[in-house]
């Protein structure tokens, strides 16, 4: 008889954002006609940039003409997009060859799929609080997880220390959920730790476009990263592609383990397991990196940053400690009055109809904290901030 993957028994009953969607759905059923101010999941509220829409239309037209029609696309990405993305890194003095860039359907899909490259016996080091998919994907793969807690004492940016035994390490910077960003020296410490022990860093750069201070956008700005890191990025948050789906992964050719090239292994994997990303979406993705596209996506990012400013002002007025918001689209606050994070979630939902994300959902050390996404509609965010101010006065 077939044996299912028994590791699923080690997962929580449901995935964090699915659980929240179910909870808020149930609340809406009990309160017909009520409206919610959603600042939970980091889903964008602004439409795609005009340059992206124009590229989507033009690419759809290409598909209607025999001479410009595209069938299967190259599994690792269209050359035009791989070159464009390599050029984007080049502007930050990171020199990549286009075949070190793989076009993907998004960072979350890729973070799970990449685990195919590593043996189950490898231990995964996850800095917590963490994006819950890191943990869940490794549990599904039956891999041992080493949890490295972080907190206000180290500004949610822990560094390697003796005694940490792991083979794969997840670094997310700017961080989801805390908004903390590693500086060059801190990343250099992780790079030298990984190179010294033959570990591999999975660097999640999904929020790099939100950095406004002089901080690294890519692990490959750090010398030595090319022999120990894979970078995963996405256009979801950068360019509003959450519902459109496009991302990219960088695997340097210099990255080898056990005598094997991880770049060549990933080519083998993609050519077997995918038929590439659609031509239309890859044209849309390329439009993001044009001068016009960059100007337009940064105009949207400025709107999300104004949302962050409004929320931070509400927390400042209430005297609540928080992190993030400046170089990241998330605000990570301390729950008021020592409240638990799910209790605070329920109070926000029931009393002011605001939805956020309880810190406990990002790992045990997230208990007592709460995350707001700044990707909401600006008018909703202003209303939510004023309701939050009123509630925090009462608590």
The contact set with ligand MLT (CB under 6 A) reads 41-43, 108, 131, 176, 373
Q: How many CB atoms lie within 10 A of CB 293?
A: 21
Cβ closer to ligand MLT: 43 or 306? Answer: 43
State the nearest-atom distance from the C-beta of 369 to ligand MLT, in Å: 14
Secondary structure element (H or E) that encloses residue 273, with its range? helix 262-273
CA dihedral 373, 376, 379, 380 (to 10 degrees): -70
Parallel, antiparallel, or unpaired for β 229-234 and 200-204? parallel
State the nearest-atom distance from the C-beta of 381 to ligand MLT, in Å: 15
Cβ closer to ligand MLT: 55 or 365? Answer: 365
Q: How many CB atoms lie within 10 A of CB 306?
A: 14
Cβ closer to ligand MLT: 42 or 158? Answer: 42
Cβ closer to ligand MLT: 41 or 267? Answer: 41
Alpha helices in 71-157 (DSSP H): 79-90, 107-113, 132-140
Secondary structure element (H or E) that encloses residue 196, with its range? helix 184-197
State the nearest-atom distance from the C-beta of 232 to ligand MLT, in Å: 11
* CB 156 within 8 Å of CB 150: yes
Cβ closer to ligand MLT: 176 or 269? Answer: 176
Outline where DSSP puts E strands in 265-356. Answer: 322-324, 330-334, 354-355
Structure tokens at 266: 């990933």
State the nearest-atom distance from the C-beta of 70 to ligand MLT, in Å: 28
* CB 218 within 8 Å of CB 94: yes
State the nearest-atom distance from the C-beta of 332 to ligand MLT, in Å: 12
State the nearest-atom distance from the C-beta of 144 to ligand MLT, in Å: 24
Cβ closer to ligand MLT: 176 or 186? Answer: 176
């Amino acid at each position: 008889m077939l044996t299912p993957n028994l590791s699923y028994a080690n997962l929580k009953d449901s995935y964090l954002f699915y659980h929240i969607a179910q909870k808020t759905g149930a609340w809406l059923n009990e309160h017909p006609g009520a409206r919610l101010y959603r600042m939970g999941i980091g889903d964008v509220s602004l439409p795609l940039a005009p340059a992206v829409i124009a590229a989507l239309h033009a690419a759809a037209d290409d598909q209607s003409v025999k001479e410009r029609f595209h069938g299967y696309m190259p599994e690792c990405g269209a050359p035009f997009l791989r070159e464009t993305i390599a050029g984007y890194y080049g502007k930050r003095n990171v020199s990549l060859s286009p075949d070190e860039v793989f076009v993907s359907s998004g960072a979350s899909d890729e973070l799970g799929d990449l685990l195919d490259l590593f043996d189950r016996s490898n231990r995964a080091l996850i800095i917590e609080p963490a994006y819950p998919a890191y943990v869940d994907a490794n549990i599904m793969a039956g891999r041992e997880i080493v949890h490295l807690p972080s907190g206000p004492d180290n500004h949610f940016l822990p560094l390697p220390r003796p005694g940490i035994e792991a083979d794969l390490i997840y670094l997310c910077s700017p961080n989801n959920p805390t908004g903390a960003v590693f500086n060059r020296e801190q990343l250099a410490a992780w790079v030298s730790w990984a190179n010294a022990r033959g570990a591999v860093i999975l660097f999640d750069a999904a929020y790099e476009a939100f950095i406004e201070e002089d901080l690294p956008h890519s692990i490959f700005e750090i010398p030595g990263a090319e022999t120990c890191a894979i970078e995963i990025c996405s256009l979801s948050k950068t360019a509003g592609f959450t519902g459109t789906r496009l991302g990219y992964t960088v695997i340097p050719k210099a990255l080898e383990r056990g005598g094997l090239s991880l770049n060549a292994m990933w080519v083998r994997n993609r050519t077997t397991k995918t038929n590439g990303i659609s031509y239309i979406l890859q044209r849309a993705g390329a439009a993001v990196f044009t001068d016009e596209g960059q100007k337009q996506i940064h105009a949207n990012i400025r709107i999300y940053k104004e949302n962050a400013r409004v929320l931070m002002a509400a927390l400042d007025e209430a005297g609540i400690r928080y992190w993030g918001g400046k170089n990241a689209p998330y605000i990570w606050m301390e729950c008021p009055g020592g409240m638990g994070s799910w209790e605070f979630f329920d109070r926000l939902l029931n009393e002011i109809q605001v939805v956020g994300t309880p810190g406990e959902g990002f790992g045990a050390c997230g208990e007592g904290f709460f995350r707001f996404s700044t990707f909401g509609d600006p008018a909703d965010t202003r209303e939510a901030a004023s309701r939050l101010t009123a509630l925090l006065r009462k608590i």
